[in-house]
Amino acid sequence: MSNVDFKTRLQNWLPKLVLSPSLVLVLVFVYGFIAFSVYLSFTDSRLLPSYGLVGWENYSKLWRLSHWKTSLTNMGIFSVLYIGICTCIGLCLAIFLDQKIRAEGVLRTIYLYPMALSFIVTGTAWKWFLDPSIGLENVLQSWGWASFEFDWIKDRDYAIYTVVLAAVWQTSGFVMAMFLAGLRGIDNEILKAAQMDGASNWNLYRRIIIPQLRPAFLSAFVILSHLAIKTFDLVIALTGGGPGRATELPATFMYSYTFSRNQMGIGAASATIMLMTIAAIMIPYLYAELREKN
Amino acid sequence: MADAMQDTAVRTSRTVRILIYLILLLFGLFYLLPLYVMLINSVKPLNEITGGGMMNLPQALTFAPWAKAWSSAQIGVDPTGLSPYFWNSIKVVVPAVVISTILGAINGYVLTKWRFKYDKILFGLMLFACFIPFQIVLIPMARMLGLMGIAGTTSGLALVHIVYGIGFTTLYFRNYYAVFPTELVRAAQIDGAGFFQIFWRILLPSSGPIAVVSIIWQFTNIWNDFLFGASFADATSQPMTVALNNLVQSSHGVKEYNVHFAGAIIAALPTLLVYVVAGRYFVRGLMAGSVKG
Amino acid sequence: MGFLDIDNTTKSYGALEVLHKVDISIEEGEFLVLVGPSGCGKSTLLNMIAGLEEITSGEIRIRGSLMNGVHPSRRNIAMVFQSYALYPNMTVAKNISFGLEMHGVPKAERDKAMADVSSLLQIEQLLGRKPGALSGGQRQRVAMGRALVRNPDVFLFDEPLSNLDAKLRVDMRTEIKKLHQKLGTTIVYVTHDQIEALTLSTRIAVMNGGYVQQLGTPQEIYDNPANLFVATFMGSPAMNVLPATISVQHGKPVACVALPDGTVVPLRLSQENLSAWEGKQILLGIRPETITDEDGADRNSKNVVNFTNRIIVTEPAGSDTFVTMSLGGKDVIARMRSDANVQPGNDFQFAVNMEKAVAFDPATEERIAS
């Protein structure tokens, strides 16, 4: 088409031109780097990247490390409890808040504010609050409950649950907000119809309302699971991975193997496994979301 | 929001309502407790804390822990307090928030109003980038910052946050612009406005609500970041969170809990302030979509 | 060559062709309405004229110059959108003058043009307001002002009245017609409302399934629909279509239609050439207003046929009363004067003006030409 003038042609190119810096950044810094890290996981890199390929050796070493197994077990315990409890608390609070509660705005603000804090701040607060020598145990004993003991944060078998507690404290309010938005989006007339049909409150929620919150459940699950896998700062601030290795997670494992123990190959292998796990959850979700909005 | 605030049609009895209020209040206490503990213990002398009265109000009110946390606490090797690190965080946060928001706005505009082949795939690639575990990019990023000569600087850190923030800002602006009437863009095209004029004169003036969302989100995330700060900053460029962690974890000397708490609050103040002041604009902005024209 | 030529134009999305070889040529000052059900391609065609959608093949010319690939702002067209598309952040004055500003027109000239247009449309008192503070009708006027101020070669209207309530819609329709008569501008107007099409246009293109079904004056379209689609789409209530068998009586073709009780009514046809269809079935199209009582029948018609049939439903509509009967196995609607004495369940003597009846080939659904 010969009569397409320069200005029009420029206008046709501008959108692509303007998008390209972001695109280049993302392609290089995200996908290029992912490729590089995955590549490193097949090399003998230790303190610095090295390019001697060693096949699957890092992965087989990784799976023999008790440290890694501990991290994975902890990850399992942590993510199941964290996602489960956050969802329960979030859903209950949202349902309760949806009953024409006075001061709903204030309560909502209180439930949500921990989300604005850094995990380091959260970790610091809970670290001292759970510390038996000055925290809750000490307080309750001084209030006269001499036999009260609460030293989970110092206990190898229980420390991981304190991580769950602090993480739930931080994010359950956010989950509440997601469910509340879902509840407010339900057509009131359906509820009225169900009541006309004689449904009790219990049945109303169980049979009519909660099934309609499916999208909210799904988004909550996706967001919580990806937060769980990425949990790092909270453990650093709350327990430092201890006592011993009792609260190590894959994220802290990767960090210490890569930067303190100079086992970059193994660190990269663990990061690759983390990425794959998140991708397995996120890609189907994003795919479905993007298709839907077509 | 009036519609979103409609009552549920669910009716509950009086006893159930009392129970509900009780539960809601209890949870309120649960969420407030750590903040309360931090606050009151940050204004107590140390002996009141170690003496075992964490929940008690201070007998001798003192702001010395705050002063110490800010300007003289031992962090790393120097007794500088948190103040230099506070400014480090500002130096990272401000450019990173501004640039990532601008890029997100432009990307959202292009992706919604200038459809072309593969726009979905491009957006999908950007979106997935939001959710990757950042461990996967730590090693190459450290190398890249070194190659670019900005390793261990606040500008390097800002760059990192810009790169990994674009996905979210693009997501916000894209969703917002997706419901922005395309007819307005077409009208402006017929009126003779070019690519940038349409963005500048037509879309941007209506983008206030979503810009607030993007800014709050980016500010909170970047301010609260620890992983990148710990990985890529050196002693002179560490952000607030890393410095706070160093302060709290430092093993020498007596543990000055009151200073730690004061430090934690100082580190939390900017985001808390943003949340309290602008939180409702955040929710409103997320809900806002269509522009009536 | 016309003022606006749409020459063999097609539009495809990938392998899917949504507009098939559209060929329309209009003269300066014409008011062309593109009408059809949603998804018929009318808006796509309008957007192609505007330059908002690319032309897959064929050519569009305005005043003889080729528009393919030319930026919308350089086609000297203006468009009024369904949602009005007023810039929400600008005042009415800014909205109207924005296009001139973008085209580099000096401020003084802009102000003059705006003053002219706003007095023409009587929106002077709105100039300082933002679109959010305007009523639907006011927005509509502003949107037209924004188009008028550019003084374009061609005005494009994309369903401009469909967001207004019924009363305002009628008022604005008149207003647009007045404006067209006064200014003599060339207009291409898209609507799905056949009444708008009939009342406004100098010519109508009825579209369906990406094809122009018929292009003609409102009268041609209404009286001589090219096919069954056009016949039933244009006109309200829609044209009655009923199966009939052709026989020849006294050398003249007659359409035989069955009543519910099984008796056959012979309706004498005015089109002599239908004798060729003897013994075959056709689809007979009869407009409701051509079925009346005997008194209401058209006195100028040379071919009014009377028959008796039972009334099923009556629907008084103020000025008229619509009567439903069963004819040829179909519900058939007749339009009576409001004072006609009709009762459901009664037998009634109807008169049908067969001069206006049309016949369609049941296989092709095309009209059988007379």
Q: What is the pLDDT of residues A143-163, one digit of tens each?
A: 777 777 777 887 888 888 999
Has residue C47 been placed in a domain? Answer: yes
If we measure between CA atoms, which residue out of C45, B186, C154, B20 comes closest to residue A95?
A: B20
- Decide: residue C276, CB within 10 A, 0-12 exposed, 13-18 middle, 19+ buried: exposed
Q: How far, in Å, CA of C359 to CA of C253, rounded? A: 12
Q: How far, in Å, CA of B267 to CA of B265, rounded? A: 5
- CB distance from A288 to chain B under 8 Å? no
Which of C61-69's residues contact partners 24+ apart within 8 Å by CB, and which partners? C61/C1, C61/C4, C61/C5, C61/C7, C62/C3, C62/C4, C62/C5, C62/C153, C62/C154, C63/C3, C63/C153, C64/C1, C66/A3, C68/A1, C68/A3, C69/A1, C69/A3, C69/A4, C69/A8
Minimal-distance CA residue of chain C relative to A1 = C69
Distance of CA C204 to the CA centre of its chain: 6
State phi, psi for B15 to the nearest 5 degrees. -65, -40
Minimal-distance CA residue of chain A relative to C65 = A3
Q: What is the pLDDT of residue B291?
A: 34
Dihedral sign computed on CA atoms, order A58, A60, A61, A66: positive
**A78, pLDDT greater than 90:** yes
Q: How confident is the model at residue B289 (pLDDT cuts 50, 70, 90)?
A: very low
Q: What is the pLDDT of residue A191?
A: 78
Q: Are residues C89 and C168 in the same domain?
A: yes
- Residues ≥6 apart with Cβ < 8 Å to B277: none
Minimal-distance CA residue of chain C relative to A11 = C71
The last residue of a domain, from among C168, C200, C233: C233
- CB distance from A206 to chain B under 8 Å? no
Instruction: Tell me how far apart the 2 most distant CA atoms of chain B are, in Å.
Output: 76
- CB distance from A120 to chain B under 8 Å? yes
Q: What is the pLDDT of residue B6?
A: 45
Structure tokens at B14: 């009086």
Minimal-distance CA residue of chain A relative to C74 = A8
Domain B83-287 top-level CATH class: mainly alpha
State phi, psi for B86 to the nearest 5 degrees. -60, -45
- CB distance from A4 to chain C under 8 Å? yes
- Residues ≥6 apart with Cβ < 8 Å to C69: A1, A3, A4, A8, C54
B residues 38-67 lying closer than 8 A (beta carbon) to A: 38, 41, 49-50, 52-55
Has residue C334 been placed in a domain? Answer: yes
Q: What is the pLDDT of residue A2?
A: 45
- Residues ≥6 apart with Cβ < 8 Å to C65: none
Which chain C positions have a beta carbon within 8 Å of B187's beta carbon? 79, 81, 85, 87, 146
**B109, pLDDT greater than 50:** yes
Q: Are residues C68 and C45 in the same domain?
A: yes
Residues C204, C35 contacting (CB under 8 angstroms):
yes
Has residue C59 been placed in a domain? Answer: yes
Q: Are residues C245 and C165 in the same domain?
A: no
Dihedral sign computed on CA atoms, order C280, C286, C290, C292: positive
Subunit contact C68:A11, Cβ cutoff 8 A: no
Altogether, the residues listed in chain C come to a count of 370
Q: How confident is the model at residue B288 (pLDDT cuts 50, 70, 90)?
A: low
CATH superfamily membership of A65-292 = MetI-like (1.10.3720.10)
- CB distance from B127 to chain C under 8 Å? no
Which chain B positions have a beta carbon within 8 Å of C83's beta carbon? 181, 183, 293
Q: How far is B203 from chain C (nearest CA, A)?
A: 9
Q: How far is B109 from chain C (nearest CA, A)?
A: 16
Subunit contact C81:B189, Cβ cutoff 8 A: no
String of b and e for C213-248 (b: at least 16 CB within 10 Å)? bbbbebeebbeebbbbbbbebbbebebbbbbbbbbe
Question: CATH number of the domain that C304 lies in?
Answer: 2.40.50.140
Domain spans in chain B, listed from the N-terminal domain onward: 14-65, 83-287
User: Least CB-CB distance to B192: which of C73, C79, C85?
Assistant: C73
Which chain A positions have a beta carbon within 8 Å of B11's beta carbon? 195, 201
Question: CATH number of the domain that C100 lies in?
Answer: 3.40.50.300
Kindly provide the ipTM of the predicted complex, given to two decimals. Answer: 0.85
Subunit contact B201:C87, Cβ cutoff 8 A: yes
Residues B37, A112 contacting (CB under 8 angstroms):
no
Q: What is the pLDDT of residue C129?
A: 92
Residues C203, C215 contacting (CB under 8 angstroms):
yes
Structure tokens at C290: 């051509």
Predicted TM-score (pTM) above 0.90 = no
The last residue of a domain, from among C233, C268, C294: C233
User: Least CB-CB distance to C73: which of B181, B191, B201?
Assistant: B191
Angle among Cα C124, C127, C129 to the nearest 5 degrees reads: 135
Instruction: List the domain range (segments joined by +) for residue C249.
Output: 240-360
Q: What is the pLDDT of residue C331?
A: 93
Structure tokens at A146: 């001499």
Percent of chain A topping pLDDT 70: 97
- Give chain C's domain count: 2
Q: How confident is the model at residue B10 (pLDDT cuts 50, 70, 90)?
A: low
**A25 to A20, B156, B227, C9: CA distances (angstroms):** 8, 14, 20, 42
Subunit contact C99:B189, Cβ cutoff 8 A: no
Q: What is the pLDDT of residue A151?
A: 77
Annotate B87-133 with DSSP letters as a single string: HHHHHHHHHHHHHHHHHHHHHHHHHHHS--TTHHHHHHHHHHHHHS-
Angle among Cα C260, C261, C265 to the nearest 5 degrees reads: 75
Q: Report chain B's mean pLDDT, rounded to a whole number.
A: 84
- CB distance from C56 to chain A under 8 Å? no
Structure tokens at B111: 């992706």
Domain spans in chain A, listed from the N-terminal domain onward: 65-292
Q: How far, in Å, CA of A90 to CA of B174, rounded? A: 28
- Reading chain C (370 residues) residue by residue, the pLDDT tens digits are 689 999 999 999 888 999 999 999 999 999 999 999 998 999 999 999 998 888 999 999 999 889 988 888 888 899 999 888 899 889 999 999 998 998 889 999 999 999 999 998 889 999 999 998 999 889 999 999 999 998 899 999 999 998 888 888 998 999 899 989 988 899 999 999 999 999 999 999 999 999 999 999 999 999 999 999 999 999 889 999 999 999 998 888 999 999 888 889 999 998 888 888 899 999 999 999 999 988 888 888 888 999 999 999 999 988 899 999 999 889 999 999 888 888 899 999 999 999 999 999 999 999 988 7
Q: Are residues C149 and C285 in the same domain?
A: no
State phi, psi for B21 to the nearest 5 degrees. -60, -40
Minimal-distance CA residue of chain C relative to B201 = C89
Q: What is the pLDDT of residue C364?
A: 92
- CB distance from B272 to chain C under 8 Å? no
Subunit contact C87:B184, Cβ cutoff 8 A: yes
Subunit contact B20:A99, Cβ cutoff 8 A: yes
Q: How far, in Å, CA of B140 to CA of A272, rounded? A: 13
Subunit contact B186:C103, Cβ cutoff 8 A: no
> pLDDT digit string (tens) for B234-277?
888 889 999 988 888 876 677 788 888 899 999 999 999 988 88
> pLDDT digit string (tens) for B117-163?
788 888 888 888 888 888 888 888 988 898 988 888 889 999 999 99
Q: How far, in Å, CA of C220 to CA of C214, rounded? A: 9
Annotate B32-101 with DSSP letters as a single string: HHHHHHHHHHTTS-HHHHHTT-TTSPPSS---HHHHHHHHTS-BTTB---SHHHHHHHHHHHHHHHHHHH
**A56 to A35, A61, A254, A272: CA distances (angstroms):** 16, 9, 17, 12
Q: Are residues C93 and C177 in the same domain?
A: yes
Minimal-distance CA residue of chain A relative to B55 = A139
Distance of CA A36 to the CA centre of its chain: 25
User: Least CB-CB distance to C83: which of B183, B188, B190?
Assistant: B183
User: Least CB-CB distance to A99: which of B17, B163, B260?
Assistant: B17
Minimal-distance CA residue of chain A relative to C55 = A1
Has residue C367 been placed in a domain? Answer: no
Q: How confident is the model at residue B4 (pLDDT cuts 50, 70, 90)?
A: very low
Has residue C365 been placed in a domain? Answer: no
Q: What is the pLDDT of residue C10?
A: 94
If interface means Cβ-Cβ distance under 8 Å, which residues of chain C face chain B?
47, 50-52, 71-74, 77-79, 81-89, 98-99, 102-103, 131-132, 146, 150
**B1, pLDDT greater than 70:** no
Minimal-distance CA residue of chain B relative to A201 = B10
Subunit contact A116:B33, Cβ cutoff 8 A: no
- CB distance from A139 to chain B under 8 Å? yes
Has residue C203 been placed in a domain? Answer: yes
Subunit contact B34:A122, Cβ cutoff 8 A: yes
Structure tokens at B243: 């410095």
| DSSP category for residue A43 | B
Q: How confident is the model at residue A3 (pLDDT cuts 50, 70, 90)?
A: low
Q: How far is C45 from chain B (nearest CA, A)?
A: 15
Q: What is the pLDDT of residue B8?
A: 54
Q: Are residues C195 and C268 in the same domain?
A: no
B residues 208-247 lying closer than 8 A (beta carbon) to A: 220, 223-227, 230-231, 241, 244-245
Average pLDDT in the A214-223 region? 86
Residues C324, C331 contacting (CB under 8 angstroms):
yes
Q: SS3 helix, strand, coil % of chain B, rounded to 5?
A: 70, 0, 30
Q: What is the pLDDT of residue B95?
A: 95
Q: How far is C59 from chain B (nearest CA, A)?
A: 20
- Residues ≥6 apart with Cβ < 8 Å to A267: A254, A255, A257, A258, A259, B135, B139
Q: What is the pLDDT of residue B248?
A: 85
Q: Are residues C107 and C251 in the same domain?
A: no
- CB distance from C74 to chain A under 8 Å? yes
- Decide: residue B123, CB within 10 A, 0-12 exposed, 13-18 middle, 19+ buried: buried
Q: Are residues C171 and C252 in the same domain?
A: no
Q: How far, in Å, CA of A271 to CA of A255, rounded? A: 9
Amino acid at the residue C333: I
- Decide: residue C298, CB within 10 A, 0-12 exposed, 13-18 middle, 19+ buried: middle
Q: How far, in Å, CA of A265 to CA of A248, rounded? A: 19
- CB distance from A260 to chain B under 8 Å? no
- CB distance from B192 to chain C under 8 Å? yes
**For testing contact with chain B, the best of C81, C94, C146, C153 (most B CBs within 10 A):** C81
Q: How far is B148 from chain C (nearest CA, A)?
A: 42
Percent of chain A topping pLDDT 90: 16
For residue A235, how many other CB atoms are within 10 A of its CB? 26
Distance of CA B258 to the CA centre of its chain: 25
